[in-house]
Chain A
């Protein structure tokens, strides 16, 4: 009988992927006020992966815990996670987060998660491979390092065998590779892993009754000291959209003129 899974899925509230971010006037951060936010797309894949594990029942899934650290509005993404199938959630409130400076860095998040793991006892943590705001691609690997657990990043396929081992196919440069490790372990999700479901209205209603615990960083003894100071945030240099050409000959002529061919 395989060991039941207890899964922790950290989720992040980010500016919606379809929104074009704008740098604020003070050049200190990207403008977040009044901008549509959603769950980080890779985190949706993580929740979906956890819920599919439950549906497959082999190994059985005892618990899916969603966690988010950030401002009050993170509750929205946690409710979404629970509407998709997470059993319960923890919101680690960081009151000033979202103003750029106070947000935890990946190392801070990893340290927080390591404490959560110690307290909640999951044997599998599924994270997104990167958040689409900071684009760091670090937290899962850092957590694995802190815990000394096996890691499989950029997963496109996850399979369990009968001996508590998980095989993960990873997207790497030039193709895929498959690694296998016994639980406990860390998996980070890549786009090709699955297609996240939409939360149905009844499930959204049910999610409102699921348990959502409020915590603070000090509950876990994690300080939010930052190692990186934002010097400035700028708009990238704009590209001059060049003119259009009439036909293929025009395109070839222009490419020659630009020295591209």
Chain B
């Protein structure tokens, strides 16, 4: 007990010191009170979704104590897995099959109740399909203006997020008592899945009856790395001309690099690639080590989803394509010649 108290006091002091270096004096006073974050963790079929561990990382950047939240049927094993995540002090677990598909109609009141009961100052979730669907509903129930898709935490109430498809960067200060936040996964790497030893507790379950039914899902199956978190992404656009050509040209290059496959909106709309592979303002945001694209012109909406990539390489036959304004390596040429050549040479 004493040890725990000392430990948390130390952590508090540590976080205060760390934060005080970056925050101005006015903001410092706000740290007099204890910060307490809830990281909403996503689980699917009894498996912790590692992408949601970015929420833990964001909470760590803020400082203060961090609690994880999981709900679903047979969720104890997920809770045990989450308890090992470095940085988490406590896991709130709600075991009820009604939450398996994370339908916001009952998941939102569940989360709202647990947030109120736990007295959290900050709630973090990924800006994933799960977080996007759920968190605003929770925010409305708590009468809070959510802050979406943040990339930087400047202080306990000040956050940075891209607006206008990433063409402007907005810094906002929230006056809400609870800060409801979704985070851009590529801006906060997932917390380490080992090294923690959080205590598992049971949360409150309001058991709200709902009329929404989950009917089915159709998820693209792939052995490739997940697009949103892959370190390399190979992406194709309208220039591929057809689904057959897309399938002939792009996957071998992705295989050669061990990369995930992405696509532009034009390629998805034309049926060359699945919707879930769309990179851009309204698709996925990616920030891999290498983003290699072929046949993509580089519209504003596409750039929004990939311009934080470490290295951008582009192959396009149009030397004036906007993609070359952001590409670190540009090759002007016919992708039907250049990509297969690149694939062969990379394999060597």
Q: Is A233 an interface residue (CB 8 A)?
A: yes
CB-CB < 8 A to B128: which residues of A? 173
Among B160-210, those with CB < 8 Å from A are: 161-176, 210
From B130, B136, B174, B281, contact of A106 by CB (8 A): B136
Knowing A175-B276, A179-B213, A258-B311 touch, does A107 contact B140 (C-beta < 8 A)?
A: yes
Interface presence of B153 (CB below 8 A): no
With contact pairs A130-B282, A151-B137, A192-B275 given, residues A241 and B169 touching in the complex (Cβ less than 8 Å): no
Q: Does B141 contact A (CB under 8 A)?
A: yes
Least Cβ distance of B166 to chain A in Å?
A: 6
- Inter-subunit contact B168/A21 (CB<8 Å): yes
**Distance A143 CA – B136 CA, assembled complex (angstroms):** 9
> Quick check: is B32 within 8 A (CB to CB) of the other chain?
no
Q: Chain A residues near B210 (CB, 8 Å)?
A: 150
Considering the complex, which residues of chain B in the window 101-123 have a beta carbon less than 8 Å from any beta carbon of chain A?
A: 101, 103-105, 108
Decide if A235 is an interface residue (CB 8 Å cutoff): yes
Interchain CA distance A229-B162 in the complex, whole Å: 15
Q: Does A97 contact B (CB under 8 A)?
A: no
B219 within 8 A of A: yes
Flag the segment in A47-55, A67-75, A134-142, A205-213 that touches B: A134-142
- How many residue pairs link A and B with beta carbons under 8 A? The number is 265
Residues of A within 8 A of B313 (CB): 251, 254-255, 260
Give how many A residues have a beta carbon under 8 Å from the other chain's beta carbons.
81
Residues of A within 8 A of B176 (CB): 227
Q: Mark the stretch among B68-76, B80-88, B321-329 that contacts chain A.
A: B321-329
For the complex, give the distance between the alpha carbons of A129 and B211 in Å.
Answer: 22
Rounded to whole Å, the gap between the CB of B154 and the closest CB of chain A is 8
Which of B136, B143, B168 touches A138 (beta carbons < 8 Å)?
Answer: B136
Confirm or deny: B3 has a beta carbon within 8 angstroms of a beta carbon on chain A: no
Stretch at the interface among B9-17, B33-41, B55-63, B144-152: B144-152
Q: A135 and B149 in contact (CB under 8 A), knowing A151-B104, A248-B342?
A: yes
B217 → chain A closest CB, angstroms: 4
Q: For residue A230, which residues in chain B have a CB less than 8 angstroms away from its CB?
A: 170-172
Q: Which residues on B sit within 8 Å (CB–CB) of A251?
A: 313, 315, 329, 331, 342
A:118-142 near B, CB below 8 Å: 129-130, 132-142
A172 touches B165 (CB 8 A): no
Q: How far is the CA of A159 from the CA of B207 in the complex (A)?
A: 28
Name the residue in B139, B170, B214, B257 with the highest tally of chain A Cβ atoms < 10 Å from its Cβ.
B170
Contact check, A229 vs B310: say whether CB atoms are below 8 A apart: no
From A137, A138, A176, A242, contact of B218 by CB (8 A)? A176
> With an 8 A cutoff between CB atoms, is B338 at the interface?
yes
Q: Across the interface, name the chain B residue whose C-beta is closest to A181.
A: B212
Residue of B nearest to A183 (CB): B211
Classify the secondary structure of B's interface with A: mixed
In the assembled complex, the CB of B150 is this many whole angstroms from the nearest CB of chain A, namely: 11
Interface check B158, CB cutoff 8 A: yes
Among the listed B146, B265, B327, B346, which residue makes an inter-chain contact with A241, where contact means beta carbons less than 8 Å apart?
Answer: B327
A89 — which chain B residues lie within 8 A by C-beta?
Answer: none
Query: How far is B307's CA from A235's CA once the two chains are assembled, in angstroms?
Result: 14
**B8: Cβ under 8 A from any A Cβ:** no
From 222 to 236 in chain A, residues with beta carbon under 8 angstroms from any chain B beta carbon are 226-236
Contact B167 A138 (CB under 8 A): no
For residue A178, CB closer than 8 A to chain B, the reply is yes
Asked whether A178 lies within 8 Å of B331 as measured between CB atoms, the reply is no
Residues of A within 8 A of B312 (CB): 239
Query: How long is the Cα–Cα vector from A137 to B149 in the complex, in angstroms?
Result: 9
Distance between Cα atoms of A132 and B210 in the complex (Å)? 32
The reply to whether A144 and B137 form a contact with Cβ atoms under 8 Å apart is yes
When the two chains form their complex, are residues B138 and A145 in contact, meaning their CB atoms are under 8 A apart? yes
By the criterion CB–CB under 8 Å, are A138 and B139 in contact? Answer: yes
B132 surroundings in chain A (CB, below 8 A): 137, 141, 153-154
> Within 8 Å CB of A135, what residues of B?
148-149, 161-165, 281
13 more CB-based (< 8 A) A-B contacts, given A30-B167, A182-B211 = A107-B139, A133-B164, A136-B148, A137-B127, A142-B139, A174-B220, A235-B169, A236-B169, A243-B329, A244-B331, A245-B330, A255-B329, A260-B313
| A-binding residues in B (CB < 8 A) | 101, 103-105, 108, 127-130, 132-141, 143-149, 158, 161-176, 210-220, 228, 232, 257, 265, 268-269, 274-276, 281-282, 284, 289-290, 300-301, 307, 310-313, 315, 319, 324-333, 338, 341-342, 345-346
10 CB-based A-B contacts, threshold 8 Å? A132-B165, A136-B136, A136-B146, A141-B133, A173-B130, A234-B168, A244-B319, A254-B313, A258-B328, A260-B310
Chain A residues within CB distance 8 Å of chain B: 15, 17-18, 20-21, 23, 30, 105-107, 110, 129-130, 132-146, 150-151, 153-154, 156, 167, 170-182, 190-192, 226-236, 239-252, 254-255, 258-261
